[in-house]
Structures are given as structure tokens and as C-alpha cells.
Amino acid sequence: MFKRKITLKLYLIIAFSMIFLVGIAIVAQLFIVSRMNLTEYTKERVDVLNARMESMVSQYNKIPVTNDKQKYIDLLNEYEEQNSAYYYFIDNSYQIKYQSKEAGKLDKSYINNIIKRMRNNKESLKWGFDFRINGLFNLPSKYIAVCMPIYQTSNSDYAIGYAVAVTKEVYTNNNYLILRQYSFYLFILVILIASILGFVFSFIITRPILKIRDTAARMINLDFTEKCDYRANDEIGDLSNSINFLSEKLNDTIIQLKQANEGLKGDLDMQREIDQMRKEFIAAVSHEFKTPLTLIRGFNEMIIEKRLKEDELLEAQGIIMDEVDRMDKLVQELLDLSRLESITYELNQERFNCTEFLRMIGNKYSTMMEERNIIYNSELENKAVWVYADKSRIEQVVMNFITNAVIHTPENKTITLKAETQNGYIIVSVCNEGSHINESEIHKIWEKFYREDKSRSKKTGGTGLGLAICKQILEKHGSFYGVQNTDNGVRFYFMLEVKDS
């Protein structure tokens, strides 16, 4: 039977659970519940101790005030022997001044609890009081403390110290004594009963589970003829029915899969298309790196061979630095694009005034446009329009649109930065006068490494990743965006939802 692992586990769980619960009940009865209230005998003993404490306090006051502390200790030892209790004299600062011979055996945690209770019950302490001492985890212990104040005179209300007696609680209840005496045998009996019940229950529970396991093993080998014959209105019966239903569905599904193999051809075509896109991407990246690397290598060889004059050397070094910067920019943009394409990337959104934001960006470019003899025109509303977006990323989009416009705008032509609100959205657009984008290729403008100039000249473009990055930023914002040819040029635009509050 116990070769079945689940049977053994259930047996052990049931048996140990029963043993644990009964054991907790016995321990709680012996050491916690039984100590919640004082027994009648203990109450009588506390009354006796209170009476004898009064006598001891009286004798304490009669001892002459000397430095011979032995007289006080002898008094405590005398009462300890007479009453089978630990005795202490505690001063009014709650420090133990004297203690009886055997009092040192009492655990320090009990002493601390006594002093704590005395501090917290100063009113009761004026006349004396008794209490059960708490031990570890503040659980009730078997010790009872009796405290009585020591006054210098009978008329004084200032206690110069306290006498404390600690005694064990004595049990006279026959039922309790029998429980303590036979608790070990009771625990052994519980173990035997729990073992038998655990065996029976584990067999009853695991028998249908093992049947279900055998059926599932046949299903692994695609044998769907075996059925679970366990019928009961419980969770295992539901599992048996589910296995039978699953067997039938799997049999039907396998038949359908055989018929659906033809549909995989379309998936293969899609995979080929993905592979082709990957190859084109690698080719584009390789091309972008090849040109600057070739230039760097050529000039570096000329520098090593010392074939350049001083002015030519400076020019060569400048070209090398330009190409290094170009490669660094390409790498940074590739990394930025990769981050934006990740599903885990999160925008750092905030609420800001879009009108003022666009005005500041336009001012950055106005000087550069003036140097290139390009006319800059700003058509922004004279009111604050608030949006909730990633400010730095939206700035990246607008600056990319303007940079592209500057590159493709001839001298004495106009670039217009425009923003207008419609139906709860602000529409931001950058328009430039110049040549149109080929309509047959305008949909490719957002692709990685796309350039309308097939020669990929540095004069007519950057890395070819700028608009691909813009696309990812705008899609992360859920923005509607696009590009279109106008009567006299090209217009790039995007929309953001207005957030007035």
C-alpha cells in the first residue's frame, strides 16, 4: 500500500494533523487553561502568605538600621523555610535589595514580570496585592506572587520598600492530577488511533485517484479506450468525468490536427517573410556601419604610414571623429528603438502646457533656420493647452519632424509649426515647402532604415531610424499620427488628448 507515494503522504498528513491537534489541546489544558484561574487551595495559601507577610513586615521594621544586611537575609530565610516560598525585599526604586537563600533559583524573566506588574499597579501596591506571574511569551506560569508595602511607621503613606513572596500553585483537583499523570499514555493512544484512521482515510481517498492516474497514463500513449469508472457526487467524481471528457476531446482534436496540417503552409510563408525582414535589417545595419568603418580604416592607414601633411592630418582626424560620432549615434538610436519596442517599457508621463512646450522647441530651431535662409512660421494658439504625456519623448518626436523638414526644405522656403485643438484633442503638425514624398513609398516612411534617397547620402538624412523611433513613441501614447503630401510640400502630424484637469 505505502509504495503509492500519494497514499503515504495522505496517511502522514492525516495522522500527524490529528496527533498535533490533540497534542496542542493536551498542552493547552495542562499549561495554559488550567492556569487561567487560581485553585481553591492556592487562594487559601495566598491568604496565609498575606497574613504571615504582615508579621514579617512588622519584624523587618524592628530591625535596627545598620549596615549588617545579614539580619534581613536571615529574616527572609526563616520565612522561606516556614512557608516553602521565595522571599524578596525590593526597594522603592524597584530593585531587589535582599533575597532569601533559594530565591536565586527563580528565573530572571519571572523577576522582571514581577517588577513590571508592580510598576503598573502602583495604586494596588499601596495596600498589597497578589497575581499570577507571566513567563515566556507572556503565558501564565505556575508561580503566584504576593506583594506587600513596607511603611516606616504605621501612620506613614510613603513606602520605603516592598516585601514579595513567590510560591508555586498547588493542584488538588483529582481530574487535573489524573490528566497530568496519564497524559503520556493518552498521547500514545492518540497516536495509535490517528495511525489507524489515517490508513483507512488515505486508502479511501487515493483508490479513485490511482484509477484516474492509470487512465491518464493510457492517454499519454494515445490510448483513449480506457475510461474512469468512478462515479460519485464529489470533487474526485467531477475529476473522473473531466478525464473522460478530456479523452474524448483529445481523440477528436487529434483527428482535426491531421486535417489541419495543410494550414501550416501559410505559417511557413509568414516565417519566411519574417526571416526576410530580419535579413534586410541586418543588411541595412551592416551598410550603415560599413561606410564609416571604411573611411576610418583608410584615413587611419594614411596616418600610420605618415602620408598626410599637417593640414591634411587635421582634416583626416576630423573626418574620423565625425564618422565615430555617426556610428555612436546609430548605436544609441538602435538601443533607444529596442527599448521602445519592448513591452515592458513604461512612459514617464506628466501634465504640461503643450502650447508653451511647442513654442520653446520652435525657438530652439529658429536661429538654425535663419542661418540656412529658411523662413520659420509658428501658428500656435494664445492659450494654454494641457496634455498628459511623456514630455521628453514628445519633444523627441517634434524635434525629429522639424529636423527632417530642415533637411528637405530649400532656401527661401517656409517651415510651419502648427497646433490646433479639435474635439478634445490637440493636433500638432510640422509642414515644410519642398519636394513631395513618392506616393508609392509614403507608407514605408516609418520603417527602420528607410530613406527616400536610395544612395543614403549623409547630406539628405541621418541614420534612417528617427521616424521609426517616433512611430514607437506615438503608438506608446495611443496617438493618431501620419504624413501626407500637401500642395507645396509635406506635412507630418500627431494628436494628443487634451487634459484640462
Check pLDDT > 80 for residue 446.
yes
CA-atom Rg of the chain in angstroms: 46
State how far the Cα of 322 lies from the Cα of 339, in Å rounded to an integer: 26
Indicate the Cα dihedral angle 20, 21, 27, 33, nearest 10°.
160
Check pLDDT > 70 for residue 24.
no
Q: 132-136, 373-377, 482-486: lowest mean pLDDT where?
A: 132-136
30-37: average pLDDT: 48
Check pLDDT > 60 for residue 230.
yes
SS3 164: strand
Check pLDDT > 90 for residue 419.
yes
349-358: average pLDDT: 94
pLDDT tens, 454-478? 554 555 556 778 898 999 999 999 9
C-alpha to C-alpha distances, 235 to 76, 231, 272, nearest whole angstrom: 70, 11, 48
The per-residue pLDDT for 113 is 92
Q: 120-124, 333-337, 359-363, 488-492: lowest mean pLDDT where?
A: 333-337
The per-residue pLDDT for 138 is 80
380-402: average pLDDT: 93
Most confident of 132-146, 226-240, 485-499: 485-499
Residue 367 grid cell: 536661429
**Greater confidence, 107 or 460?**
107
Q: Quickly state the pLDDT bin for 423 (edges 50, 70, 90).
A: very high
Domain map (residue ranges) of the chain: 40-170, 264-341, 349-497
The per-residue pLDDT for 2 is 46
Contact in structure between 469 and 336 (CB atoms under 8 Å): yes
23-46: average pLDDT: 60
State how far the Cα of 15 lies from the Cα of 200, in Å rounded to an integer: 11
Residue-averaged pLDDT of the chain: 80
132 membership: H or E segment, kind and range: strand 129-134
What would the CATH number be for the domain defined by 264-341?
Answer: 1.10.287.130
At residue 38, what is the residue type? L
Q: Quickly state the pLDDT bin for 12 (edges 50, 70, 90).
A: low
Regarding pTM above 0.85, the answer is: no
**Greater confidence, 391 or 177?**
391
Q: Quickly state the pLDDT bin for 294 (edges 50, 70, 90).
A: confident
Task: Determine the topology of domain 349-497 in CATH.
Answer: Heat Shock Protein 90 (3.30.565)
Contact in structure between 80 and 100 (CB atoms under 8 Å): yes
Q: Quickly state the pLDDT bin for 112 (edges 50, 70, 90).
A: very high
**Greater confidence, 207 or 419?**
419
Q: Looking at the DSSP assignment, which residues form a beta bridge with residue 317?
A: none
At residue 112, what is the residue type? N
The per-residue pLDDT for 307 is 80
pLDDT tens, 128-185? 888 889 888 788 888 989 999 988 776 777 888 899 999 987 654 544 555 555 566 6
Q: Buried (b) or exposed (e) across 200-230, using 16+ Cβ within 10 A?
A: ebbeeebebbebbeebeeebeeeebebebeb
Indicate the Cα dihedral angle 480, 484, 490, 494, nearest 10°.
0
State how far the Cα of 413 lies from the Cα of 434, in Å rounded to an integer: 7
Q: Which residues contact 60 (CB under 8 A, 6 or more apart)?
A: 72, 75, 89, 150, 163
Contact in structure between 413 and 375 (CB atoms under 8 Å): yes
From the list 501, 336, 491, the residue with the least C-alpha distance to 416 is: 491
Q: Quickly state the pLDDT bin for 3 (edges 50, 70, 90).
A: very low
**Under CATH, to which class is 40-170 assigned?**
alpha beta
Share of the chain above pLDDT 90, in %: 30
